[in-house]
Amino acid sequence: MRKRFDIRQSVIYIAFVVLFLIFSITLKDVGVGFASVSNLMNILRQTCLVAIMAVGMTFVLGAALIDLSTGPVVACTSLVCGLFLQRFGLVAGVAAGLMFGVLAGVLNGFLVAYLKMPPFIATLGTQTVFTGVARTITNLQSVPITDKTFISIFGGGSVGMIPSVFVWMSVIFVLGVLVMYKMPFGRKVLAVGGNVTSAKYSGIPIAKVQMKVMVLMGVLCALAGILWAGRFGGGRYTLGEDSGTAVIAAAVLGGTSMMGGVVSVYGAIVGALMMGMLDNALVMYGLSVYQQTIVRGIVIILAVAVSTVREEN
C-alpha cells in the first residue's frame, strides 16, 4: 500500500523551508545577510552540538524515558576534559571527558532502570547535582585549553571547507541511523518504549536496554561537551548548560514521540537545525537574549502541541 502524504509528519520539513525563506528575505541586508555562506556556516557550527545530543535524545524518548540532565553534563565534561588535558595531555583529556559522560549515564540509568524511579524526577535531581558539580570543580573558574591539535580536531578546525564539528555530527548521525533502524538495539529500544510489558514478555532485558540508552545519552553529552570546549577554547561551567531543553525540543520537533516507541533520527537533525536557525535569526532581528528565550519557549510549546495532535490522530 502506498503511504499517503501525511501533513502532520512533514510539518517540520515544511516549517523549516518556510522559515528559511522568510529569514532569507527579511534578513537579507542585516550584517552579512542570513543566507550568506558565512552565516549559514555559523548556524551549522552552532547547531552541530545540539544535533549530536538530539540523536541521543531520540533513543531516550524512543524508550519512553527522558533525560533532563544533559545540559549540566555538557558543562561538567568541558571542565573535566580541560583539567585532564592541562595536566596529562590530549588523550587523557578526551578519555576523562568521555568517562565522565559514561558515569553520568550510569548514574541516571541506575536510578531509572534499576531503582525504577520515574525518569523525569530522577534526571531532574541529577540535573541539579551536575549543575552544582560544574560550579564546584573549579570554583566558577574557566579552564583554558591551548592545545592546538585538540582545538583543530574538536571544534575549531575544519576539513577543507567543512568545519570539524560538522564531521563529528555526520558521524554520529550515520551511527544513530544505523543503530536505530538497522541494528537489533534500535528495535529493542522501540519495543521498550512502545509497550514495556510486551517487550518483557518477548524476552528483552528491559533494565539493560534502559541503562544502555541512558549511558549512550551521557556519552553523546560528553562528546558535545568536548566539542564545546574545543570551540570555546576551554572548559566553563556555563557551556551548553541550557542546551537541555533545545535538545528535547529538537527531537520532538523532528517527530519523535514523548510517549515512546515512535522516533525519527533524521527529524532530530532537522529539528536541531531549525532551533539553531531560529536562534540566529532572532539575534539578527536584534532581540535581546531574554527576548530570545521567550520565543524559544513558544517554539517548544508549539512543537509539543503539534506532536500531541499527531498522536491523537
Partner 1 sequence: MHQKALDMENICIAFNGVQVLKNINFSLDKGEVCGLVGKNGAGKSTLLKIIQGLYRANSGEVRLFGENVKENHGRVFAYVGMIFQELSLIPEMTVLENIFLNNEIRKFDLVNIREEERRAVSFMKKYKIDIDIHKKIKKLSSADKQMVEICKAVLKNKKILLMDEPTAALDDEQAAKLYRMVKQLKEEGITILLITHHLQEIIDNCDSVAVIRDGEMTLGGETKNLSMEAMIKAMLGEEQTDLAFSRSISDIDRTQPVLELREIVTDFIKMPLSLRVYAGEVVGLAGLKGCGRTEVFRAIFGLDRLRSGEIYIFGKKANIKSTTDAVKAGVFLIPESRRFQGLSVDHSIKFNIELPLLKRLTRRFLVDERESNRVVDDYIERVHIKANSRGDKVKSLSGGNQQKVVISKALATTPRILLMDDPTYGVDVGAKAEIMKIIDQFKMSGGTVLLASSEIEEINQNCNRIFILKNRKLVGELSNEDYMTVTQDSLAAAIQ
The CB-of-183 to partner 1 minimum distance in angstroms stands at 6
The CB-of-231 to partner 1 minimum distance in angstroms stands at 32
Calculated CA dihedral for residues 92, 97, 102, 106, nearest 10 degrees: 120
Distance set, CA 124 to CA 70, 91, 162, 218 (Å): 10, 32, 36, 15
Give residues with Cβ within 8 angstroms of 112, minimum separation 6. 65, 119, 122, 123, 210, 214
Q: Following DSSP, what letter does each residue of 194-260 receive, concatenated?
A: H-HHHHHHTT--HHHHHHHHHHHHHHHHHHHHHHHHHHHTEE-TTTTTTHHHHHHHHHHHTT--TTS
What H or E segment, with its residue span, contains residue 100?
Answer: helix 90-109
Which of 90, 187, 283, 284 contacts partner 1 by CB under 8 A? 187
∠ CA 245-7-176 to the nearest 5 degrees?
Answer: 45
Count CB neighbours of 54 within 10 A: 38
Which of 124, 174, 183, 302 contacts partner 1 by CB under 8 A? 183
Total residues at the site for partner 1 (CB under 8 A)?
22
Residues facing 163 on adjacent strands: 158
Residues in contact with partner 1, shown as a per-residue x/- string from 190 to 209 under the rule CB under 8 A: xx--xx-xxxxxxxxx----
Select from 40-48, 175-183, 222-230, 298-306 the region that touches partner 1 (CB under 8 A): 175-183
Give residues with Cβ within 8 angstroms of 276, minimum separation 6. 43, 44, 46, 47, 50
What H or E segment, with its residue span, contains residue 41?
Answer: helix 37-62
The CB-of-199 to partner 1 minimum distance in angstroms stands at 7
**Residue 182 interacting with partner 1 (CB under 8 A):** yes
Residue closer to partner 1 by CB (options 135, 200) is 200
Select from 134-142, 179-187, 265-273, 294-302 the region that touches partner 1 (CB under 8 A): 179-187
The CB-of-308 to partner 1 minimum distance in angstroms stands at 15
**Residue 135 interacting with partner 1 (CB under 8 A):** no
Residue closer to partner 1 by CB (options 209, 300) is 209
**Residue 148 interacting with partner 1 (CB under 8 A):** no
The CB-of-194 to partner 1 minimum distance in angstroms stands at 4
Contact 66/60 with Cβ under 8 angstroms?
A: yes
**Residue 177 interacting with partner 1 (CB under 8 A):** no
The CB-of-202 to partner 1 minimum distance in angstroms stands at 4
Select from 16-24, 99-107, 181-189, 293-301 the region that touches partner 1 (CB under 8 A): 181-189
Residue ranges in 219-278 that form contacts with partner 1 under rule CB under 8 A: 261-262
Which of 166, 176, 188, 227 contacts partner 1 by CB under 8 A? 188
DSSP 286: T
Binding residues for partner 1, per CB under 8 A? 1, 178, 182-184, 187-188, 190-191, 194-195, 197-205, 261-262
